Structure 1
Amino acid sequence: MDDDWLSTGETAEILGVSRQHVADLCDRGDLPSIRIGTHRRIRRASLARLVAPQLTRNQEKSLWLHRAVLGALMMDPVTVLQSAQDNIDRWKTAHRPDGKSVQYLNQWSAIIDGGVDQLAAVLTGTDELSCELRQNSPFASILADEQRQQVLRSFQQHWRQEHGAERAA
């Protein structure tokens, strides 16, 4: 068996659970598997999907937009970073200094100061903090309207294919 497939024992070890729990996950359909004789085999990719954080539709849409921002950042980092910092500076004057919005803006400033690699990790991260920060993004003006609309169309098509038409609305 190649490296793409795992036994229930290997899967249980990775998850830190019992083999029976893995079998239960497979029986419920929560973890797709195949049977080879009396043995179950689980694709590594299926296991990765099970343990990966599940993003909401809005979080995933924001992730797609920020991946496009990352493309712009890679092509012209000076302009993109300056535009984001200008937005931060301008928006800080519109909010209470002790408010949550300013806290997010300060976090963005620190991330920008940390360099392009740190910024790229937040722009494309699926962890809770990255998702939260993207909802308060200083990169609103980076993409041209046509680019933004194209990303949103691509995302909608992706969502329908990956998550089913009933959830795409």
Structure 2
Amino acid sequence: MEKSLWRHRAVAGKLVTDPERGMALARRKLAHRRAVHSDDSADARLDAWGRLLYEGVDAVVEMITAQTEAAVEVRQNTPLRWRADRAGAPERAGRLRRDTSPG
């Protein structure tokens, strides 16, 4: 299974725990990416994320945890990556223990 899917499963858990904060941060990150890619090079991907964020938390969680080609593409261009990548040390250690524990 792709690493991105595992990372986004952790993101989904955080997103449902604090949806207002998570969605606000994702919208801010998306706006930043639009400013950085003002040459229209990423418009289609950013527009897809804009629509997904507009649909709400349930739609985002469903897409980022799906095992479809569309979901793989969405995860590759996520404004949610910060949620998993910036997990604190205790959280990373706990995740590592869960992922490597037998059975």
- The TM-score range, normalised by the shorter chain, is 0.7 to 0.9
Q: Which amino acid is the alignment partner of residue 62 of structure 1?
A: S
Partner secondary structure for residue 141 of structure 1: helix
**Which of 104, 120, 125 does residue 45 from structure 2 map onto?**
104
Whether 1:114 and 2:63 are equivalent positions in the alignment is no
Q: Based on CA coordinates, which of the two structures has the bigger radius of gyration?
A: 1
**Which of 87, 94, 110 does residue 29 from structure 2 map onto?**
87
Q: Which amino acid is the alignment partner of residue 65 of structure 2?
A: T
Equivalent in the alignment of 2:71: 130
Measure, in 2, the Cα distance between the counterparts of 1:132 and 1:157. Answer: 27
* Pair 75,88 (structure 1): closer, same or farther in 2 beyond 3 Å: same
Q: Retained in 2: the 8 A contact 1:61–1:155? A: no
Q: Deviations over 1:46-79 (max 9, x none)?
A: xxxxxxxxx5xxxx21111101111111111000
Q: Mark the runs of 5 or more structure 2 residues left unpaired by the alignment.
A: none
Deviation, 1:121, is 1.1
Q: Retained in 2: the 8 A contact 1:81–1:112? A: yes
If each structure's helix is expressed as a fraction of its own residues, which one has the higher value?
2
Deviation, 1:140, is 2.1
Q: Retained in 2: the 8 A contact 1:84–1:139? A: yes
Partner secondary structure for residue 142 of structure 1: helix
* 1:49-88 to 2 correspondences below 5 Å: 55=1, 60-88=2-30
Task: Calculate the aligned-residue CA RMSD, in Å.
Answer: 2.3
Q: Which amino acid is the alignment partner of residue 19 of structure 2?
A: P
* Pair 154,116 (structure 1): closer, same or farther in 2 beyond 3 Å: same
Q: Which structure's relative contact order is higher, taking Cα pairs within 8 Å and 6+ residues apart?
A: 2
Q: Which amino acid is the alignment partner of residue 132 of structure 1?
A: E
Question: Equivalent pairs: percent with the same residue?
Answer: 30
Q: Mark the runs of 5 or more structure 1 residues left unpaired by the alignment.
A: 1-54, 162-169
If each structure's strand is expressed as a fraction of its own residues, which one has the higher value?
1
Measure, in 2, the Cα distance between the counterparts of 1:69 and 1:134. Answer: 11
